[in-house]
DNA sequence: AATGGTCAAGTCAGC
DNA sequence: GCTGACTTGACCATT
């Protein structure tokens, strides 16, 4: 099991998702942001290696506006060398990589324009990972999409559009159960139809499911991954106490995470900690997973 | 230098 | 019909 966290490191003082306003777009501005993002990502990954955190989600903002019609810049050519070097670094240290396009990306959108923009954005994600020379184990995780008043029709539309995707996207795309629209059961059904792997989000499942148990759920999602996909990925989080159900916790709850590990054992997977204090939570999780209490921060009474 | 309104993009629940 | 949550930071105009 590798353990990691998404996109942002809160302690080393740089951001690998620097962007700018569309109104101030220029090629120079783009290059400046991308160079800074690559610099910072390199620093974050070096930090992660030192800490034993070998799973990381790269921000979709790595190349700002990459799929926007306004972006005429040849970022692929400009950054080919740097991205390739970064990818070599990632492969050498056997770091697992994921990406997660955000809520605007809807493969099953009713609106053709939204659908077309979504495919363009997925193509950008795949191209970025390709330029880094990463294998198909580097995944792009996506939710199934909207309901649009008709779940069955919207699932059919997802399947039909999935079938039309370019292979460069298909080899990396996985779907994740969300916390309000498409639960694990739907994702598994879709996977049986088209073969897309299912990334199990344990927290979404706790918030939104028909009550299937954690152990069996993690197992059935893991079954949808083939050898070329790498170890299954799982997202973990826990509830922010007294917050809206589904709100992510600020700190890792050591007891909850230990219970999560016990219930999913002996299944092996790469685990993404979707906790707001990021690398701190991931270090604690690593401490719990490896039995090293020195890594576990946030002792009793310090939780929110 | 500090601040706070706003940022490419969609959906859906709640008023 | 409109607003806010999602999730969240950080850009940048303004002071």
Q: Which pLDDT tens digits describe chain A residue by residue (304 residues)? A: 999 999 999 888 888 988 888 888 888 889 999 999 999 999 999 999 999 999 999 999 999 999 998 888 899 999 999 999 999 999 999 999 999 998 899 999 999 999 999 999 999 999 999 999 999 999 999 999 999 999 999 999 999 999 999 999 999 999 999 999 999 999 999 999 999 999 999 999 998 998 899 999 999 999 999 999 999 999 999 888 777 778 888 889 999 999 999 999 999 999 999 998 899 999 999 999 999 888 887 644 344 3
Q: Which CATH architecture has domain A3-289?
A: Alpha-Beta Barrel (3.20)
CB atoms within 10 A of CB A94: 9
**CA-to-C1' distance for A244 and C4, Å?**
14
Q: Are A155 and A194 in contact (CB under 8 A)?
A: no
Among all protein residues, pick the one whose CA is nearest to the C1' atom of C6.
A103
> What is the length of chain A?
304
**CA-to-C1' distance for A272 and C15, Å?**
42
Nucleotide minimizing C1' to CA distance for residue A149:
B12
Q: Which helix (H) or strand (E) holds A185?
A: helix A184-194
CB atoms within 10 A of CB A90: 23
Residue whose pair of structure tokens reads 């701190």 in the numeric block = A280
> Chain C: nucleotides under 7 Å from a protein CB?
5-13
pTM of the predicted model as reported, rounded to 2 decimal places: 0.95
For residue A294, the SS3 value is: helix
**CA-to-C1' distance for A261 and B3, Å?**
44
- In this prediction, residue A243 carries a pLDDT of 72
- In this prediction, residue A10 carries a pLDDT of 87
- In this prediction, residue A12 carries a pLDDT of 87
**CA-to-C1' distance for A179 and C13, Å?**
37
Distance from the first to the final alpha carbon of chain A? 28
For residue A266, cis peptide bond before it (omega within 30 degrees of 0): yes
> Chain B: nucleotides under 7 Å from a protein CB?
7-13
The residues, any chain, with a CB within 8 Å of residue A169's CB and separated by 6 or more, are A119, A122, A123, A125, A126, A140
């Amino acid at each position: 099991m590798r353990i990691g966290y998404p996109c942002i490191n809160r302690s080393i003082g740089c951001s690998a998702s620097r962007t700018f306003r569309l109104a101030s777009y220029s090629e120079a501005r783009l290059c400046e942001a991308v160079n800074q993002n690559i610099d910072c990502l390199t620093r974050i990954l070096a930090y992660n290696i030192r800490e034993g955190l070998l799973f990381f989600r790269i921000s979709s903002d790595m190349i700002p506006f990459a799929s926007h019609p306004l972006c005429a810049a040849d970022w692929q050519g400009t950054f080919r060398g740097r991205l390739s070097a970064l990818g070599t670094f990632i492969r050498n240290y056997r770091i697992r990589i994921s990406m997660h396009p955000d809520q605007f990306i809807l493969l099953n959108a009713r609106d053709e324009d939204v659908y077309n923009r979504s495919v363009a954005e997925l193509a950008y994600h795949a191209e970025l990972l390709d330029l880094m020379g990463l294998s198909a184990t580097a995944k792009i995780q996506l939710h199934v999409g909207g309901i649009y008043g008709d779940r069955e029709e919207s699932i059919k539309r997802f399947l039909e559009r999935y079938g039309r995707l370019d292979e460069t996207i298909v080899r990396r795309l996985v779907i994740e159960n969300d916390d309000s629209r498409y639960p694990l059961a739907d994702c598994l059904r879709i996977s049986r139809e088209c073969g897309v792997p299912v990334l199990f989000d344990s927290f979404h499942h706790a918030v939104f499911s028909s009550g299937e148990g954690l152990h069996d759920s993690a197992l059935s999602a893991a079954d949808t991954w083939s050898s070329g996909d790498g170890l299954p990925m799982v997202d973990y989080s826990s509830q922010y106490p007294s917050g809206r159900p589904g709100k992510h916790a600020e700190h890792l709850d050591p007891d909850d995470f230990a219970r999560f590990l016990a219930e999913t054992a002996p299944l092996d997977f790469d685990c993404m900690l979707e906790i707001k204090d990021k690398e701190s939570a991931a270090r604690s999780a690593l401490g719990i997973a490896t039995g090293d209490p020195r890594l576990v921060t946030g002792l009793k009474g310090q939780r929110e």
